[in-house]
Amino acid sequence: MNFEQARFNMVEQQIRTWNVLDTAMLQALSSLPREQFVPTAYQSLAYTDTEIPLGHGQTMLPPRVDARLVHDLKLTGPEVVLEIGSGYGYMTALLAKRCQRVIGLELIPELAAQAQRHLSLAGLDHAEVRVGDGAHLAIPEGPFDAIVLGGSVAEVPSSLLNQLKVGGKLLAIVGEEPVMQACLYTRTSGDQWASRALWDTIAPPLIGFAQPSRFKF
């Protein structure tokens, strides 16, 4: 399979058409071999607009969703970023192409090990993935310039919002099927945050985060 041509087609047909037009972001997508960040059995699907199984009940987001999440953080280079739910490390690598340092948290040890291996092979030494529960764990390197979640949550916990610097941004896919939105939270002061919905999508839920009750009274 011609992965280079598939990567070009992905950028032109999926990424650009989803309002990812920043030149530096497009260069990052064009230079990153996504086939090296998916299970070997699914390499032929690396550049398709679909979720890819990672094992352990987890899936990899379609490339356009990864790209849009990183793009909409509007990183400029000097930021330190926290990623929750790293999977196989593809979005971690995209973030590393756009900022100074990335710390990823992945709850499943086997996935964290694969992600770290992929980042090392890609030469992205300023990115790392640790085993940890992003829903509850405070990271000593914080507060962060940006935080991004690699899956959906019913709501963003205050424990994550409190790990933002003043002026820092958190981007997460929030809601329940069939209605979810990518929401951007900005810490405007020590105890205040602003939020706005950016776009509609659907993503699998991150494990470890509270799920809403299904019971109605």
The predicted model scores a pTM of 0.95
Contacts of 185 (CB under 8 A, 6+ apart): 156, 161, 164, 169, 170, 171, 172, 193, 194, 195
What is the C-alpha to C-alpha distance for residues 47 and 4, in angstroms, rounded to an integer?
10
Q: Is omega for the bond preceding 143 within 30 degrees of 0, making it cis?
A: yes
What is the C-alpha to C-alpha distance for residues 210 and 189, in angstroms, rounded to an integer?
26
Q: Is omega for the bond preceding 53 within 30 degrees of 0, making it cis?
A: no
Residue 215 has pLDDT above 80, yes or no: no
Task: Please state the domain extents for the chain.
Answer: 51-200
Region 27-39: mean pLDDT is 97
Q: How confident is the model at residue 123, as a pLDDT?
A: 97
Q: How confident is the model at residue 17, as a pLDDT?
A: 96
Region 24-32: mean pLDDT is 97
The CATH superfamily of 51-200 is Vaccinia Virus protein VP39 (3.40.50.150)
Residue 212: pLDDT band by 50, 70, 90 thresholds?
low
CA max distance for the chain: 56
Residue 48 has pLDDT above 60, yes or no: yes
Residue 217: pLDDT band by 50, 70, 90 thresholds?
very low
Residue 67 has pLDDT above 50, yes or no: yes
